[in-house]
Amino acid sequence: MTASATNAGAAAPAFSPYPLLAVLIWTGNTLVTKSAAGAIAPGAIAFYRWALAGLLLTPFIAPAVWRRRALVARHWPKLAVLGLLGMGLYQGLAYQAAHTTSAINMGVIVATMPLMSALLAGALGIDALTPARIGGALVSLAGVVLLAAHGDPASLLHGGPHAGDALMLVAVASNAVYGILLKRWALPLTTWEQLYVQIGFGVLFLLPFWWCAPAAPLTARSLPLILYAGTAASLGAPWCWMTGIKRIGPARASVFMNLLPLLVALGACLLLGETLHGWHAGGGALVLAGVAWSQRGGKRV
């Protein structure tokens, strides 16, 4: 998303707490996603999450969307694609991945999202594809391989990648495509109007998976997970992130995303009882090094 400084000609402040708050909420959402495995079916929590978010937004956004229904009708195919990618595939696949991978791995793979977006944008001719981005992608890929192989890359030649890690890569790729299309299409609706309509389409796409999922009545274990995902992660984090970009710009805000793997690892060890191994540290370091390298300038390939 693009945003201008609040006051034209004024320098953006060096720090804003909002991007950090967004990353903290997304850290919690990764832990919630892992905790949901075994507590509620992936299709059910994904559906409940976005249905709740849409319900909460309805009193504030629905009247404006109704007044602009002609614009919505004109651009509904694009909004439907965005809803499928951002609300259906990304989080739906993440909930499924949580059954067969750790929260630590999920956090590291999510950290590759900025790099994956840059590579896809370069491949599509939208942005420059530089040697730094290519090199950074290779280094980050080595880190993901180390994670997926649990420190033994040779094992991938026999058993292949772990299903959860592969699903998380597909989920992150779908969200990267979502971000690229959102910027490229520049739909004539406000951010919250777009989000509201996308949530509506996302709920429609998730409805069959909820319907076919095993019965998932709300319990004392699953209800807090749904409430967090449907409020803080779906509404609070986007608001904090957008506010942070307006305050300090997208380049400075994106730096905070590098904290996500570390925060998730700490939370997973302290709250979920996961064990931090050497290959977690090695893989995470390679991923972050690749992301940092890719952000350097350079000539277009």
In the 3-class helix/strand/coil scheme, how is 187-256 assigned residue by residue?
CCCCHHHHHHHHHHHHHHHHHHHHHHCCCCCCCCCHHHHHHHHHHHHHHHHHHHHHHHHHHHCHHHHHHH
Q: Which residue has the higher pLDDT, 133 or 160?
A: 133
Q: What's the whole-number mean pLDDT along residues 54-82? A: 95
- The H-assigned helical ranges of 8-89 are 17-36, 42-67, 69-74, 76-83
- Alpha carbon distance, N-terminus to C-terminus of the chain: 25
Q: What percent of the chain has pLDDT over 70?
A: 84
Q: Which residue has the higher pLDDT, 132 or 301?
A: 132
| Triad 230, 235, 238: Cα angle to 5° | 135
Q: Is the pLDDT of residue 5 over 50?
A: no
Write out the H or E segment, with its range, that includes residue 119: helix 113-123
pTM: 0.81
> Measured between alpha carbons, how far is 120 from 31 in angstroms, rounded to an integer?
28
| Triad 274, 275, 278: Cα angle to 5° | 140
Q: What is the pLDDT of residues 75-133, one digit of tens each?
A: 999 999 999 998 899 989 999 999 988 888 888 888 778 777 777 777 776 666 677 76
> Measured between alpha carbons, how far is 171 from 166 in angstroms, rounded to an integer?
9
- For position 156, what pLDDT does the model report? 55
If we measure between CA atoms, which residue out of 26, 20, 24, 31 comes closest to residue 224? 31
> Measured between alpha carbons, how far is 300 from 122 in angstroms, rounded to an integer?
9
Residue carrying the six token digits 């201008």:
4
- For position 3, what pLDDT does the model report? 42
- For position 8, what pLDDT does the model report? 43
